[in-house]
C-alpha cells in the first residue's frame, strides 16, 4: 500500500510540474478590460487587449507608456461600443477593401503560448475573407517586442 501511495504521489508531482506557469506573462485587468494579457521582463511592460480588436494598449519602459491611450477607454465595459485608441494594426489598402469592423472592434481569442509570448486570434471576417493571428513575444532582457501578424484566407 505504501508503494502504491508513493507511486501516485510521484505521478501527481510530475503532472503538476507540467502545469507550471510561463514566465513574464499573465492575464490581468487593465483600463476596464478584464481579459487583458501582460507581457513583462521587469522594466518593459506590454498590455494586449483581445476584447476590442486584438491591439496593444501599453508598451512601457519603467511605467511610462509610449502609446496614446484615451481616457474614454477607462469606463469601457464588455457590450459597450468600442472606444479604441493605442496600438492598432490593419490590413489594406485602406480605400480599396471593405470595412473591417470584425477585425477592428470584435473580441479576439487570447492564448498564453510561452514565456513572454501571447497569441491573439480574430474571429473570421467574412467581409475581407480573412482571419488574423497576432503573436507577441517580448525579449527576456531588452525592449524588443516581436509582433508577427499572419493573415489566413477563410
And the C-alpha cell for 119?
Answer: 497569441
Read off the pLDDT of residues 85-142 as tens digits, 9 standing for 90 and up: 777 777 877 778 888 888 888 999 999 999 999 999 999 999 999 999 999 999 999 9
- Domains, the chain, with CATH or none: 21-153 (2.70.98.10)
Read off the pLDDT of residues 74-93 as tens digits, 9 standing for 90 and up: 776 666 666 667 777 778 77
CB 48 within 8 Å of CB 39: yes
> pLDDT at position 96, please?
83
> pLDDT at position 86, please?
74
Average pLDDT over residues 42-68: 95
CB 122 within 8 Å of CB 132: yes
Residues 6+ apart with CB under 8 A from 123: 102, 106, 107, 108, 131
* Averaged pLDDT score across all residues of the chain: 85
In the chain, % of residues over pLDDT 90: 58
92 or 57, greater pLDDT: 57
Amino acid at each position: 500500500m505504501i508503494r502504491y501511495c508513493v507511486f501516485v504521489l510521484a505521478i501527481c508531482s510530475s503532472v503538476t510540474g507540467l502545469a507550471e506557469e510561463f514566465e513574464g506573462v499573465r492575464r490581468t485587468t487593465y483600463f476596464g478590460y478584464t481579459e487583458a494579457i501582460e507581457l513583462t521582463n521587469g522594466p518593459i511592460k506590454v498590455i494586449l487587449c483581445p476584447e476590442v480588436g486584438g491591439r496593444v494598449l501599453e508598451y512601457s519602459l519603467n511605467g511610462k507608456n509610449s502609446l496614446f491611450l484615451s481616457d474614454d477607454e477607462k469606463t469601457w465595459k464588455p457590450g459597450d461600443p468600442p472606444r479604441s485608441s493605442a496600438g492598432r494594426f490593419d490590413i489594406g489598402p485602406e480605400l480599396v477593401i471593405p470595412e473591417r469592423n470584425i477585425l477592428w472592434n470584435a473580441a479576439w481569442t487570447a492564448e498564453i503560448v510561452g514565456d513572454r509570448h501571447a497569441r491573439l486570434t480574430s474571429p473570421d471576417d467574412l467581409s475581407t475573407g480573412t482571419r488574423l493571428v497576432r503573436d507577441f513575444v517580448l525579449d527576456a532582457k531588452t525592449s524588443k517586442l516581436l509582433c508577427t501578424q499572419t493573415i489566413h484566407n477563410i
